[in-house]
């Protein structure tokens, strides 16, 4: 049994809903979720953002569904932290796992 404790996502989203609304929608999925959202690039209709979600057990599918529901498109998983239940904590940094 493993638990994802942190994921770093590269996402393209429209200007609306705002970053605040998207971050709130993701944070609402889990009680202990912490969401850090950084805007990397702004275009005429879209913005490229980096979303970092951390928690005791991050539900990636739910996070992805929330991003899609808010009009965002997940481009890649840039980093993940996964904890193994028996081995204590195992960390992994995955660069550019395209979806």
Partner 1 sequence: MKPLQLPVFLLRITRSQGILRRYFVVNGFDGALTMLGLITGFLVSGSTELGVVINVCLGAAIALAVSGVSSAYVSETAERLRALKQLEAAMITDLQDSAHGKAVRWVPVLIALVNGSAPLVISLLILTPLWLADAGLVLPLAPLLNAIVVALMLVFLLGVYLGRVAGISWLRSGVRTLALALLTTGLIYLLADS
- Dihedral sign for Cα 40, 96, 81, 7, please: positive
- Contact characters 43-82, partner 1, x per CB under 8 A: xxxx---------------------xxxxxx---------
Considering only 16-24, 30-38, 54-62, 84-92, which stretch makes contact with partner 1 by CB under 8 A? 16-24
**Does an H or E element contain 84, and which?**
strand 73-84
CA distance 2 to 39: 30
Instruction: Kindly tell me which of 6 and 13 has the beta carbon lying closer to partner 1.
Output: 13
Going by C-alpha positions, the residue among 74, 82, 76 that lies closest to residue 95 is 76
17 touches partner 1 (CB under 8 A): yes
27 touches partner 1 (CB under 8 A): no
Give me the residues that bind partner 1 (CB under 8 A), please.
Answer: 12-14, 16-17, 21, 43-46, 68-73
């Amino acid at each position: 049994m493993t638990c994802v404790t942190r994921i770093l996502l590269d996402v393209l989203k429209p200007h609306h809903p705002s970053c605040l609304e998207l971050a709130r929608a993701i944070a609402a999925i889990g009680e202990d979720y912490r969401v850090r959202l950084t805007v990397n690039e702004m275009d005429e209709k879209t913005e490229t953002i980096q979303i970092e979600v951390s928690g005791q057990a991050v539900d990636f599918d739910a996070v992805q569904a929330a991003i899609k529901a808010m009009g965002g498109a997940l481009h890649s998983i840039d980093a993940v932290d996964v904890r193994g239940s028996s081995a204590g904590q195992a960390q992994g940094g995955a660069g550019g796992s395209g979806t």
